[in-house]
Structure 1
Amino acid sequence: MGLILLAGVQKSNHLNVEELFRTDGGSVEIFRLSISAQRFQFLLRVLRFDDGSTRQQRKAIDKICHIREVFEKFVQNCKNNYTLSAFVTVDEKMESFRGKCSFRQYIPNKPNPYGIKIQALCDSKVFYTFNMEIYPGKQPNEGLVCDNSGLAVVQRLSEPIFNTGRNVITENWYTSVPLAEMLLQRGLTTVGTIRKNKKEIPPDFNVLRGRSVKSNMFGFRDNMVLVSHIPKKGKNVLLISTMHNDAKTDVETGKPDIILSYNDTKGGVDVVDRLCANYDCARATRRWSMVVFYAMLNVSTINSQVIYIANNSNSKSLRRHFIENLAMKLIEPHIRERQTQLNLPRSLRQRLSEILKIDEVTETAGRSRNGRCYKCGWQKNRKTKYTCHKCKKYLCLEHVVPSCSNCLTGDEE
């Protein structure tokens, strides 16, 4: 996981594995120092998230059984380790994927129009992803019944914050009057754009004739406000709010407070999408479960930095540096163990010692007194106890160049 995150930071996530593990200095050195290319490919190829022996039975009732258990554990950890601010956003994320998948979606206005849709609830201020669920489409007839309507999705995502007085920001696919009423009953307010074809909207709010640009129309009912705003000629924006109860507007812009509040807090999930795209760690794959796995890694780097900053208020670490440090901390235990393996090339172990800042005495401790002369090669298999005083490679007497003590120490006058 550390190497995958590091590839994302270095914008190398789509490089071929052979390019990542080049030895001519054209790639990031830590890859070949940490693991072999064959091992890296093998781990990615065999990585699974469920029990393959029971998958067919579970697949008959659940389309996303391949990764459901791991995904739900990850989401539960996200819920347990952070307390949200007063404003949260519910929206959809698209994880790019064009392979074979029965619930692959097409949303033309997204940066990645084809892919796996993930519904998410995020903090609108610090962009912490609190809750997520994968959109599975229509489940098998005898399978898990899942209501994919906007009201049901928002209800499931916001259930952990019921009766906390927070405000939920939604876009027009989710927003409806029944949703606003349901959230009010559960101690939450909402602000969101609403489609003009909803039956609860009075016809007058959809009439544009005779209305000037930047004009507003308000409608009130118990604990709910409907506003119609004309931002430019021929365009009508409708919003409902249970957080506001008046018709206040901004003097300079002419926009109602409801719209200003919506604009300030609507971008929670969109910002998370943009942050994930900046240092995307997703590698090319034909398995949709790996796409979800890479999505979890991307979200985990954002969430972990939010938690770190919350616990270390003086920290000014950039996201790039934070991910690099996180990746190196994940890699370090493995390269410490690898540095002690005597069957690795000496040059590789010496470079690992420099990275880990291990003394040369520690690096050579416990190795055999005799070694094979590196000049003679494997054919002669000539063992010797003599080594070069600089590179510490073994040399037989045939290839040793005599030097006096002054030349050896560099003290010759």
Structure 2
Amino acid sequence: MLQEILIHTNSKIRQRQNKSAANNSKSNASSYMQETTLGELKAFIGLLYLAGITKSNRQNLKDLWRTDGTGVDIFRTTLSLQRFQFLQNAVRFDDKATREQRKQIDNMAAFRCIFDQFVHRCQNAYSPSEFLTIDEMLLAFRGRCLFRVYIPNKPAKYGLKILALVDAKSFYVLNLEVYAGKQPSGPYAVSNKPFEVVERLIQPVSGSHRNITFDNWFTGYELMIHLLKEHRLTSVGTVRKNKRQIPESFIRTNRQPNSSLFGFQKDITLVSYAPKKNKVVLVMSTMHHDNSIDESTGEKQKPEMITFYNSTKAGVDVVDELSANYNVSRNSKRWPMTLFYGILNMAAINACIIYRSNKNVTTKRTEFIRNLGLSMIYEHLHSRKTKKNIPRYIHQRIEEQLGEPSPRPTVAPGRYVRCQDCPYKKDRKTKHSCNACGKPICLEHAKFICENCADLNSAD
């Protein structure tokens, strides 16, 4: 997946290099317009994760790279500000040469391949629990996009809608589908009606005897019977009162508070619960087949169907919340970048769940994401450490981060070499070196100490 992003990103970089050369741009731009590597691409993503855990994902990048003590050292240590901005603008996910042709059959052509690979890997990496949730999430986006939607009850209101199948216990994201609007004729021209959406999302768990929980936008008698008969999946969901299968007595609101009405068929159960005066809640289930009341609810006397629905309905909402806690998303006018940030958030959630499950530990998400981000930048730090055209203090920070100090430089007796603490432009030569670290140093940057004091310091 990253290898494919690398190929298309470098293609975009070469295009910009050619444009820069044609415009006779100044040579100082060439220093940060070089092609990238897999290690540098990982480092770019690692910095996004580190920005997420410090809640600085929407912060002005210049503030993160400040050198007055208010910036974040790890950002300057890993990439220059210009290079990070350049990579952020250059990242691409598909072949531009064939994009127009693919857009004739797919509105999501610019991100389809990467998205499908991510979903496929999520499905192969983890076996979910017996309880799953289907719901929608919204990735905030206000730029131009054919399938941008408006959902007034979401915090962002405008954005890209994703329908998700999530483990209701661990909150692992198992399957995803982007709402791409009305697709052109072709393989991606699918129905966006609830029945068909659920049919596609549950494919990874079809025949597994799991339960699916969803809200009243999805719930329907035909769908629930279909899931049970054709896919061997039970389901639970709230029901809209205007459904034609609902008996009139079940939607009457002039009932005793905390009372319940049950309706039974061979494979499906309907309950109407009155939580308070003049209100009823309808829940339909192919998992429950009796009128059991959850005694733990006390005087509220909630049916077990209701409490089960409440305990499993929030899977997708929790993923939304977890993503927002350590969000990597940055402001962008390109919808593929918004989707990319979205899958990075979900990848961190899934990776943490897998790590905890495999290691049988309860590592905090903050620590996991911090270690994830740091592990992704180390390869690039090793590479950057060998470069001689970066500031000296950056070299020092890299050595501190890696815990691998460079070999001490030595100065041959009587030989003049450049002072490492003087500005490069001064080109000041010296034959002296530091007694502690061995680096060449001129008298302006040295301090004199007698042998007795030096011995005392070494003893300490």
TM over 0.5: yes
When structure 1 is superposed on structure 2, of 329-338 and 34-43 the one drifting more is 329-338
| 1:33, distance to aligned residue in structure 2 (A) | 0.4
CA RMSD of aligned residues (A): 2.3
2:81 is the counterpart of 1:34: no
Which of 196, 202, 206 matches 2:251?
A: 206
Which of the two has greater helix per residue? 2
Structure 1 CA distance, aligned partners of 2:90 and 2:140?
A: 21
> For structure 1, which runs of at least 5 residues remain unmatched after alignment?
none
When structure 1 is superposed on structure 2, of 166-175 and 373-382 the one drifting more is 373-382
| 1:222, distance to aligned residue in structure 2 (A) | 1.8
Structure 2 residue aligned with 1:394: 440
- Do the aligned partners of 1:60 and 1:143 also contact (CA within 8 Å) in 2? no
| 1:390, distance to aligned residue in structure 2 (A) | 5.0
Structure 1 CA distance, aligned partners of 2:441 and 2:448?
A: 12
Structure 1 CA distance, aligned partners of 2:425 and 2:133?
A: 68
- Do the aligned partners of 2:420 and 2:440 also contact (CA within 8 Å) in 1? yes
2:221 is the counterpart of 1:180: no
Structure 2 residue aligned with 1:249: 293
2:392 is the counterpart of 1:325: no
2:175 is the counterpart of 1:131: yes
- Do the aligned partners of 1:346 and 1:393 also contact (CA within 8 Å) in 2? no
| 1:137, distance to aligned residue in structure 2 (A) | 1.2
Percent identity, aligned pairs only, is 46
| Paired residues, number | 408
C-alpha distance 31-370 of structure 1, shift in aligned 2 (>3 A): farther
Pairs within 5 Å for 1:41-56: 41-56=85-100
C-alpha distance 52-208 of structure 1, shift in aligned 2 (>3 A): same
2:359 is the counterpart of 1:312: yes
Structure 2 CA distance, aligned partners of 1:411 and 1:168?
A: 70
When structure 1 is superposed on structure 2, of 245-254 and 185-194 the one drifting more is 245-254
| Aligned AA (2:249) | D
Cα displacement string for residues 16-53 of structure 1 (whole angstroms, at most 9, x for unaligned residues): 11111111110211000011001100100010100011
Q: SS of the residue aligned with 1:231?
A: strand
Q: SS of the residue aligned with 1:230?
A: strand
Cα displacement string for residues 369-400 of structure 1 (whole angstroms, at most 9, x for unaligned residues): 96433576455534445333457553457876
Structure 1 CA distance, aligned partners of 2:458 and 2:148?
A: 74
C-alpha distance 165-212 of structure 1, shift in aligned 2 (>3 A): same
Structure 2 CA distance, aligned partners of 1:265 and 1:146?
A: 28
Cα displacement string for residues 222-251 of structure 1 (whole angstroms, at most 9, x for unaligned residues): 200011111112212111100011111124
Structure 2 CA distance, aligned partners of 1:100 and 1:399?
A: 56
| Aligned AA (2:242) | N
- Do the aligned partners of 2:409 and 2:438 also contact (CA within 8 Å) in 1? no
Cα displacement string for residues 103-152 of structure 1 (whole angstroms, at most 9, x for unaligned residues): 11111111221111000000000100000010111112467311101111
| 1:218, distance to aligned residue in structure 2 (A) | 1.1
2:235 is the counterpart of 1:190: yes
Structure 1 residue aligned with 2:391: 345
- Do the aligned partners of 1:122 and 1:268 also contact (CA within 8 Å) in 2? yes
Structure 2 residue aligned with 1:70: 114
Cα displacement string for residues 232-288 of structure 1 (whole angstroms, at most 9, x for unaligned residues): 122121111000111111242311111011011111001111111111110011111
2:275 is the counterpart of 1:231: yes
Structure 1 residue aligned with 2:69: 25
2:143 is the counterpart of 1:96: no
Structure 2 CA distance, aligned partners of 1:142 and 1:306?
A: 37
Structure 1 residue aligned with 2:318: 271
Structure 1 CA distance, aligned partners of 2:458 and 2:95?
A: 69
- Do the aligned partners of 1:120 and 1:269 also contact (CA within 8 Å) in 2? yes
